[in-house]
Homo-oligomer: A and B are copies of this chain.
Amino acid sequence: MTTALQRGRQLTQNLNPDLEEVLRDRYDDLLPDFAESLIEWAYGRHYARPGLDLKTRQLCTIAALTVLGGQTGPQLKVNIEHTLATGAERGEILEAIWQMAVYGGLPAAINGLNAAREVFDAQDGISATQA
């Protein structure tokens, strides 16, 4: 039987193969085991679970990060990239964000749209000049 850590590592191999290494380089000097711990919890204990397909899981994450607003800007952008990697279309991501205006208010939704545009423009090679 695989452990949660193994399942998490397997899943991120497809979604974002450098993720654990990037996290280790950035945070393990501050907090030993940070990267391993995050992969185990977020990917091994959640995204790797059966019962809901990965694309829908990612769209749910987009929705949550949008309504949580201010404190989740950088994570929203990373997860928009992960969501595209699961096969979601840009339009689906934008719809999930905009719908959040109903639940988290207009400012949260608008900031989410701005984050999406930054990701799309970066992928399209357009320099972001959005203030």
Contacts and interface: CB of A to CB of B under 8 A. Distances in A.
A80 interface: no
Given A4-B37, A30-B117, A99 B63 contact: no
A99 B69 CA distance: 18
A70 to B, nearest CB: 2
A30 B110 contact: no
Nearest to A60: B63
A61 interface: yes
Contact of A99 (B60, B66, B68, B73): B60
How many copies the complex holds: the figure is 6
Given A61-B63, A64-B64, A113-B30, A105 B107 contact: no
Interface in A27-59: 27, 30-31, 33-34, 37-38, 40-42, 45-47, 49, 51-52, 56-57, 59
A126 interface: no
Contacts of A57: 95-96, 99
Interface of A: 3-4, 27, 30-31, 33-34, 37-38, 40-42, 45-47, 49, 51-52, 56-57, 59-75, 91-92, 94-96, 98-108, 110-111, 113, 116-117
